Amino acid sequence: MRKIKKIIILFLMTTVFLSTIVGAYAWFTLQPSTEALDLNARSTELISSSARVQLGSQPLDYNSSYYNQTEYAIQFTKSQISNNLSGSTFPLSINVLITALKTVNVRFKLVEVWTVNNVVQNKPNVFTWNYAQSNRIDNSGYYMHDQVLSKGLTPFDVGFITNASVNTSVLNDLSNNAVLKLSLVVSAVQTNRSSNWNLAASNHVIKQFNVPSNISGQSLNVIFNGVSNPQYTRGVYVEFKSGTNNFSYIWHTRSALSNRLTLPAGTYDVRINLVNHLNFTVSRNGNTIEIQITYGPITSWGLEDVLYAPSMVPTWQPNVTYKSGDMVYYDDLSGNGVNAGYYKARQASTGAEPDASPWAWQTISVYYSDTRAYLAGEIIYYNNKFYRAKANVWAGNPPPLAWAWELLGLEHETGKVYTPGDVTYTLSNDIKSWYVSYGSFTAHSEIIEQHYNLKYMSINYSEHNKGKYQSGEYVYHEGYYYKVTVAENWSVPALGAYGYQRLGIEYVNRAYPVQSIVSYNNQYYIAVNAVSTGNTPGSSANWRLLNHRGNYLSTTTYNRYDSIIYNGKRYFWNNPTATINTNPETTSGWWSLEENWDFKNTYVQDSIVSYNNDLYILRSGTSQNQIPGVSGAWQPLSLKWSPTAMYYRSGSKVSIVEHEGKYYVWYGNHDTTNTSEPGTSRNGWNELTDVWVSTNRYLQGDFVIYDGSFWELLLPTNPTDQTNVPGIDFTVWKEHPIEWNPNRN
């Protein structure tokens, strides 16, 4: 039989995957917002398990009318229990199939939840369960199998319950509306840590819950604080015991919970079925009993694994008639297991082999299959990418098909639907090119066309952005920087080109503010007044020539506008009073004619300087002794983030920055400066990545990769507390596992 292996997403750049020294899979993620180490230990890594339950000779599997698929429980009414009695024996037997992924010891618990009209009842002593071996029950009701299960691919068939003796008088006294739900808890511990288990003295975590007076109609909620293992939300068994009172409750996230607890006054011992390295507290908040679950001290960890309600999916049999909705596992022995997997019946059939009868069966897998049809909204995994069906898709129509599939994630592909603010990228030779959407449209080509409402994000001029640049933006083209002066024009940046103003120290025919410095015909000039268009240096009194006097001499007197060379750099004196024997590098009044920023200069709008090997331009006003990137109106002439830059988000004028090797898009207010550092908090910057980032803001319907799964945000607004982490609250983030498996569903 083919074993389907889990895919590990290799590009989880912020996540370190460890096959740990103790053998369990785990992901360790350092969350920047809290600097807290988030351990996401995945369950069912020690074992794979399924249950074999029979009522007499009748198998009670996933397709049985006795099986409650929502509760993962075998469900009986009072009359159904009575009708299946043989004398005082209830012929229910349970075996557990265990595939040991490590060498383990195992223990099981059968959970009884009794209700009447959705009110949980004090557990009646109806059943005395007869176990495969007697005297193997600990004082928390767990049956401890006495054999070590060795690692291997062949499952062990472990006997658990042979039948039950029934106290018929107690059964008869129950309400006719009494309902029993039976579920199974399977636990495993690595054999080299089995000393953490003790048959004589329970090692289960027990907490006290004081009920000073009778309470009724209580709901129960389980809250995972920093524990983001989705397996646990499959089912948490909570038991309240005080004297003769014994109440059981199953909490899960699959549907709304209708059961309510009514507890007499008393102090209750509370147990949960989770692994021992999880600690918990019990409290009451209004009419809700809250179980808060956290990681316990590291000294309590015993490499345990727990599974609530293992799979009850039967193996397909050719002589069984299956009805619509039935689920089977098909081993495909005749095909050497190539098409082995889980299938769900589309309609009734007998003898129709699942892999050869798509009219009767559909595969249950996140992997795309050519042999099955997909309904609108289904998510599949194909060629290392996730897709969602836009419409009903018939068999044989794999992605990418624009009418059929929507690529999830940020990479561009044919058929993607864009709305304003979306980001996307193309990949070439492992280099990503980023684009931001400023309009709604559907892409009809795998190549990003010029007419798409997508803006290419780069300081370099792009033909793709013709007609998309907005006034005030800066571009670099053929050795020069330009400022856009006319929005959405179609000309190419050049000297005198419509809608562009060339920047730099070389004089061009434009207006200049007072104190502007330019080079013209191999001479330097300074504007002593504001200069209008058409007034070239040397032809207008508004320009003053800087008189060059060679190398600096300390014995020479220099007048205003005299320039010199000092230590290989050029300066000029810009003070009405003459100077002698003053240091050009340190004395105010000596202005630099170099590109490097100088604290003595007064810079004017559109001045370009270099600081720490980065170029900056002054957006507006004047600046003296304001360090670029630290203070003032300095804008980087690159995608490098700077706290002094102005950032934009209006139409096609959207800012993307690069910071510490990562790219971020601005989603804050348009025309904002003095932004805080990207990646440090949720501050208006979203990192451009498919991987979940704690500081990103997400919108309803966004998809992220986290902890080896794909997650969809369900809320209209992104939370700011711990539920921001996928897997902590499954009403906030919905998981789309890379591998579908009913054991993990």
Taking the mean position of all CA atoms in its chain, how far away is CA 379?
16
pLDDT band at 705 (very low <50, low <70, confident <90, very high): confident
The pLDDT of residue 43 is: 39
Work out the burial of residue 689: count CB atoms within 10 Å of its CB; fewer than 13 is exposed, 13-18 middle, 19 or more buried: buried
Contact 493/475 with Cβ under 8 angstroms?
yes
Which residues are CB-contacts of 317 (< 8 A; sequence separation ≥ 6)?
none
Per residue in 641-689, pLDDT tens?
Answer: 999 999 999 999 999 999 999 999 999 999 999 999 999 999 999 999 8
Reported as a single tens digit per residue, the pLDDT across 428-439 is: 888 889 999 999
Pick from 19-28, 158-167, 287-296, 317-326: least confident: 19-28
Range of the domain at 137: 47-195+202-308
Q: What is the residue whose two structure tokens read 């836009």?
A: 390
Average pLDDT over residues 568-580: 97
Q: From CA 157, how far away is CA 196, in angstroms rounded?
A: 24
For residue 64, being part of any structural domain is answered with yes
Q: Nearest Cα to 484, choosing from 468, 471, 503?
A: 471
Whether residue 296 is contained in a domain is answered as: yes
Return all residues near 281 (Cβ < 8 A) that are at least 6 apart.
207, 291, 292
Locus of tokens 């062949």: 154
Please check whether residue 179 lies inside any domain of the structure: yes
Report the run of H or E that residue 170 belongs to, with start and end.
helix 168-173
The more confidently predicted of residues 582 and 416 is 582
* Arithmetic mean of pLDDT, 366-376: 80
Task: Give the residue among 51, 64, 66, 92 at the shortest CA–CA distance from 179.
Answer: 66
Higher pLDDT, 1 or 438: 438
- Say what the pLDDT of residue 6 is: 27
- 21: pLDDT strictly greater than 70: no
User: Tokens 């003095």 map to which residue?
Assistant: 674
86-145 per-position pLDDT tens digit: 999 999 999 999 989 889 999 999 999 999 999 999 999 999 999 999 889 998 899 999
* Total of domains in the chain: 1
According to the model, what pLDDT value does residue 12 have?
A: 24
Integer Cα distance of 312 and 53 in angstroms: 8
DSSP, residue by residue, 314-343: PBP-TT-EE-TT-EEEE--GGGTTTT-EEE
Distance between CA atoms of 698 and 720, rounded to whole angstroms? Answer: 11
pLDDT digits (tens, 9 = 90+) for 212-235: 999 999 999 999 887 766 678 889
The pLDDT of residue 461: 97
User: Mean pLDDT across the chain, nearest whole number?
Assistant: 87
pLDDT computed for residue 146 by the predictor? 93
Each residue's pLDDT tens digit, 282-333: 999 999 999 999 887 755 556 788 888 888 888 899 999 999 989 888 888 8
pLDDT band at 708 (very low <50, low <70, confident <90, very high): low
Q: Is the pLDDT of residue 264 over 70?
A: yes
Do strands 417-418 and 441-442 pair parallel, antiparallel, or not at all (unpaired)?
A: antiparallel
pLDDT at 35 over 90: no
Structure-block tokens of residue 504: 């730099």
**664 is written with which tokens?**
């971020």
Block residue for tokens 């018929």: 168
Alpha-carbon gap, residue 82 to 88, rounded angstroms: 9
What is the rounded CA–CA span in Å between residue 485 and residue 482? 9
- Output the pLDDT for position 302: 61
Evaluate whether residue 584 is within a structural domain: no
Give the residue-averaged pLDDT of 505-519.
Answer: 96
User: Is residue 176, in this structure, part of any structural domain at all?
Assistant: yes
CA gap 49, 97 in Å, rounded: 6
Whole-number Å distance between alpha carbons of 97 and 575: 92
Tokens 């609108």 correspond to: 376
Q: How far apart are CA 238 and CA 273, in angstroms?
A: 7
Percent of the chain past pLDDT 90, that is, above it, reads 63
Q: Is residue 572 part of a domain?
A: no
Report if residue 303 sits inside a domain: yes
Residue 298: what pLDDT? 59
- Could you report the per-residue pLDDT of 598-635, keeping only the tens digit for each? 999 999 999 999 999 999 999 999 999 999 999 999 99
> What are the pLDDT digits (tens) for 245-262?
999 999 998 788 999 999
Q: What distances in angstroms separate CA 499 from CA 82, 280, 529, one per listed residue? A: 88, 65, 25
Determine what percent of the chain is predicted with pLDDT higher than 70: 91
Residue 300 is predicted with a pLDDT of 56
Q: Which amino acid is at 219?
A: S
pLDDT at 456: 96
In a domain, 412, yes or no: no
291-305, 410-424, 488-502, 607-621: least confidently modelled range = 291-305
CA separation for the pair 205, 220 (Å, rounded) = 19
d(Cα 411, Cα 404) in Å, to the nearest integer? 17
Q: What is the mean pLDDT of residues 519-538?
A: 95
Q: What is the mean pLDDT of residues 175-189?
A: 95
